Chains A and B, each alone.
Chain A
């Protein structure tokens, strides 16, 4: 007896196919490009990413399910795929020169970045725990290598190893959560899980509750939410700065999207349980992130802790479990991609022969040596603090008002208090730039390569634009979460 597998709808995974072909193609092309011209591989990767992003836009309102219900293409998946592709494109732009300075300009770098993107794209489209796991591992393996890409640098190698070991550990936890879920419900498909919980009344099942914790821990690692955040500062500090910019945005977005899909669709009926859990985690995450960030003198480390805090704000959106909240998360990731990658871009700008440029003191006098970069950095810092008229303010406003609507008053008080405190450390950088003495003129002035300047300018303009005119992006974000309305 033969089982006939249904033919999957390949059109639905068009973007994923494109990225795979592109990544493999880059590896091949890399063979024919001489060592001193690896920049060409990067430019090719960039072009490919932009094309994929444009191509993915065609899937807006496409709505399809394929691979026996394991893979969905809905607006939610599309909007997050755009976040990843945008982050990838900007990362490539800010990498070009950095890799040359660090003397690790290798073609594989770009291929790995695209494999990572592929993993994330699979993750957000997955409607099955196993597929989510596959996506997550594809993503994670690429990131391990990327974070250790400066292989002669001890910090970078250490970062990679740490990330790897913690990642493997958490991978086991996640699998255990999936196994427990399967054991109780008898399926790994999210819709089937939701059905079974409803029919059999399993929403207070203790084993399923443990599974819920394990799943939260599994995604919580990539999100870097407390208490699963320990690895983040070490890894962020050690990784090559463009990779740090990338992993602080894209994998975090992927894990958030997966968390939303699993919690809202799969175990949406258990909301009262996971809301309590996420309440505690969100409060912890924000507070630990912000308070510890205030103590750092290394800007990469500071932004690492701040990115932990931002994850805390975004948890408010899931916690609220209403359309505004979920749309707020989607919007916030765009805003966060703009402002955070911009801030890291400026750090890269400061990297020049002999200067690492990631200490607060390295920012001293930037307002004189490169006024435009200093001005844009202020925009990013304002946005990270959540001061209008920037995209970061709009994002926070969406998230906080969603949480208020859902009745989480005290959590919003904690969140607002945290965002107030965050000003203190973000503006230490502004203070150094505008009020610090410029270093003596013997040190080369920070000057951006054209690609880097373009990248910073793009994200800077977008940060301001979506602060002043966020309407359409908010509408898109809202349209992207209609998938979840039946489950809310």
Chain B
């Protein structure tokens, strides 16, 4: 099995290496390297899936990486129900996005084309490392690696200043999360003495509850960065500056789910810390709700999808936070299909309209690009939770889990958000594909995309429609499969059985919420009752607040960026360097000027100051020692 695992990771790595080193020669044929690489990886992943399904799992090392005292950190992999579920989803969705990219990126200059496919393969490699690692450090390698690729791909169109800045923002915000992750890692090492998943989870109970809470909260900080949760979600909407297939693959289907995966992987630790679980679920619910409200009024096609992604990630965290990890991971998978699909369709629209993203200028595109429109509607129906499409099953499992485990408020927020989700998604559909065209010119140039783009759309649409049924397969469906790994010591199964009758009720409520959202959107944007414009001006304060995304970016700028930049400039630069050093220097230089004119030219003043600084420093340190000794 180790060979197969190496093949799964190795093929994209090979593809990235070839395109990276010889891209200048391969140029426009880069996809002939990248697509087979990822497709082979997907085939091997499927093979592994069938093996795991037959009951074979694997934990083993390739070679020792770091050995420090008793701490062994290998390059080693863990293949179980959870990781195989992840890699199959990742490689499958990624393959279709690679194929789609051939069509989408065809206007790119040849060098950029090879560079793009190199990054895309590299991204998949790191994502697979993240999912397959058998220890936290190797997971961290993947974790940082996907962050790096995301940065490179967001800034892919570096000629646009906004793209370059968005890339930087993503990287920096993610690093804040990484800080938590790293500290958490070191604490695990300190208190368990190992960073291998199996050892850590086996000895997790030796950690005091308080320490477990601290560790899991730190890990969750990392997750909020990578998975764009409050308060670190701000980078994801800006990440839409990247090419759309990248948004689809990285910022919807795979990388952003890394946090959910990491929390699920660490469930043995989280189970020890009820407080952390509470935090995870609450942050998830809050993010789901706020992100959905921001999507209500946005007119940018991709940004609506971005906020929707943030919101859906919130659902996944509700799932893992209330202890139904399997439901969270299941939603991760269904979301990968329908959100990946919707981004690709948005890309198809963008491709046809030469980069136009403003929904207010669209309308009536259904006839011009039927495949794009219909596949989008499938995706939107899935996310809106309309049965029997994928989103219905997974979202329902999460909400039912929340209700059954006694998180009634979170259940309510989640259900209300489901209503909002259905509304903004169908608002998007009605504005874009239905009604009268609002911009003649744009309507004129619209055309259906080539088959290389539409076939992936159709495949993913079929997936979005059908993967939900995995929930009702024999042996407990997806939950039964994942709970081999995730259910340890938790009372999920019993709780779910107790609430059999309640569950049907909940299901009906969430379906009603979904249909209500669709209905309201239809009435507002097809019939104009109530008129969106008058509604907007009636509730102007709320509308403005939502339109400006609660002013969070501005707040962060005011709170962190300005003081940091200004502070270091004012205090360290202006005060220490300019006032203290230069001031002293100039002062001393004047004194020196009296003493001798010759010495002034070699800036003895500076040296004298340095000497004073050194002596003064030593004295202060000595004094500190006496003070604290």
Residues of A within 8 A of B611 (CB): 165-166, 169
The CB with the most chain B CB atoms within 10 A, among A277, A295, A389, A475, is that of: A389
Contact yes or no, A397 B65, CB < 8 A: no
Q: List residues 104-144 of chain A with CB under 8 A from any CB of chain B.
A: none
The residue on B at minimum CB distance from A272 is B629
B66, B572, B616, B621: the one contacting A471 at CB < 8 Å is B66
Contact yes or no, B603 A158, CB < 8 A: yes
A18, CB-defined interface residue at 8 Å: no
Contact yes or no, B172 A387, CB < 8 A: no
B614, CB-defined interface residue at 8 Å: yes
The residue on A at minimum CB distance from B613 is A230
Contact yes or no, A431 B164, CB < 8 A: yes
B26, CB-defined interface residue at 8 Å: no
The CB with the most chain A CB atoms within 10 A, among B20, B63, B158, B573, is that of: B158
Residues of A within 8 A of B182 (CB): 416
A221, A294, A435: the one contacting B158 at CB < 8 Å is A435
Contact yes or no, A295 B572, CB < 8 A: yes
Residues of B within 8 A of A371 (CB): 24
B491, CB-defined interface residue at 8 Å: no
Contact yes or no, A388 B144, CB < 8 A: yes
Tell me whether A401 and B617 are in contact in the complex, defined as CB-CB below 8 angstroms, given that A161-B602, A412-B186, A431-B155 are known contacts: no
Contact yes or no, A470 B568, CB < 8 A: no
Q: How far is the CA of A323 from the CA of B190 in the complex (A)?
A: 16
Residues of B within 8 A of A394 (CB): 66
Residues of B within 8 A of A417 (CB): 179
Contact yes or no, A295 B614, CB < 8 A: no
Contact yes or no, A405 B190, CB < 8 A: yes
Q: How far is the CA of A227 from the CA of B175 in the complex (A)?
A: 28
The CB with the most chain A CB atoms within 10 A, among B179, B187, B610, B629, is that of: B610
Residues of B within 8 A of A294 (CB): 568
The distance from the CB of A469 to the nearest CB of chain B, in whole angstroms, is 7
Q: How far is the CA of A435 from the CA of B157 in the complex (A)?
A: 8
The distance from the CB of B306 to the nearest CB of chain A, in whole angstroms, is 21
Contact indicator per residue, chain A 205-230, by CB within 8 Å of chain B (1) or not (0):
00001100110010001000011101
Interface size on B, residues (CB 8 A): 63
Residues of B within 8 A of A162 (CB): 603, 606-607, 610
Residues of B within 8 A of A213 (CB): 618, 621-622, 625
Q: List residues 185-238 of chain A with CB under 8 A from any CB of chain B.
A: 209-210, 213-214, 217, 221, 226-228, 230-231, 234
Contact yes or no, B569 A295, CB < 8 A: yes
Contact yes or no, A469 B573, CB < 8 A: no
Residues of A within 8 A of B614 (CB): 166, 169-170, 173, 217, 221, 227-228, 230
B75, B144, B606: the one contacting A387 at CB < 8 Å is B144
The distance from the CB of B65 to the nearest CB of chain A, in whole angstroms, is 7
Residues of B within 8 A of A291 (CB): 568, 572
Q: How far is the CA of A470 from the CA of B73 in the complex (A)?
A: 11
Residues of B within 8 A of A55 (CB): none
A375, CB-defined interface residue at 8 Å: yes
Residues of B within 8 A of A347 (CB): none
Q: How far is the CA of A423 from the CA of B147 in the complex (A)?
A: 12
Q: How far is the CA of A413 from the CA of B111 in the complex (A)?
A: 42
Contact indicator per residue, chain A 73-84, by CB within 8 Å of chain B (1) or not (0):
000000000000
Contact yes or no, B66 A397, CB < 8 A: yes
B137, B190, B604, B629: the one contacting A276 at CB < 8 Å is B629
Q: How far is the CA of A289 from the CA of B621 in the complex (A)?
A: 18
Residues of B within 8 A of A323 (CB): 69
A281, CB-defined interface residue at 8 Å: yes
Q: List residues 2-46 of chain A with CB under 8 A from any CB of chain B.
A: none
Contact indicator per residue, chain B 593-629, by CB within 8 Å of chain A (1) or not (0):
0000000001110110111011011101110110011
The residue on A at minimum CB distance from B178 is A420
Tell me whether A276 and B628 are in contact in the complex, defined as CB-CB below 8 angstroms, given that A294-B568, A431-B164 are known contacts: yes
Residues of B within 8 A of A424 (CB): 172
B148, CB-defined interface residue at 8 Å: yes
Contact yes or no, A416 B68, CB < 8 A: no
Tell me whether A470 and B66 are in contact in the complex, defined as CB-CB below 8 angstroms, given that A214-B618, A276-B629, A277-B621 are known contacts: yes
Residues of A within 8 A of B445 (CB): none
Contact indicator per residue, chain B 156-168, by CB within 8 Å of chain A (1) or not (0):
0011000110011
Contact yes or no, B621 A324, CB < 8 A: no
Tell me whether A398 and B68 are in contact in the complex, defined as CB-CB below 8 angstroms, given that A387-B144, A435-B158 are known contacts: yes
Tell me whether A273 and B625 are in contact in the complex, defined as CB-CB below 8 angstroms, given that A227-B616, A291-B568, A324-B68 are known contacts: yes
14 additional A-B pairs beyond A375-B20, A417-B179, A468-B75, beta carbons within 8 Å, are: A162-B607, A169-B611, A209-B625, A231-B610, A292-B568, A295-B568, A295-B573, A368-B111, A387-B148, A394-B66, A398-B68, A431-B168, A471-B64, A471-B65
Closest 7 CB pairs of A and B: A227-B617, A435-B158, A435-B164, A388-B141, A165-B607, A230-B610, A420-B179
| Chain A contact residues, CB within 8 Å of chain B | 158, 161-162, 165-166, 169-170, 173, 209-210, 213-214, 217, 221, 226-228, 230-231, 234, 273, 276-277, 280-281, 291-292, 294-295, 323-324, 368, 371, 375, 382, 387-389, 394, 397-398, 400-402, 404-405, 412-413, 416-417, 420, 423-424, 427, 431, 434-437, 468-471, 474-475
Residue pairs across A and B with Cβ atoms less than 8 A apart, 14 shown, are: A161-B602, A166-B607, A230-B610, A276-B629, A277-B621, A294-B568, A324-B68, A388-B145, A412-B183, A420-B178, A427-B171, A468-B75, A469-B63, A474-B67
| Chain B contact residues, CB within 8 Å of chain A | 20, 24, 63-69, 71, 75, 111, 137, 140-141, 144-145, 148, 152, 155, 158-159, 163-164, 167-168, 171-172, 175-176, 178-179, 182-183, 186-187, 189-190, 568-569, 572-573, 581, 602-604, 606-607, 609-611, 613-614, 616-618, 620-622, 624-625, 628-629
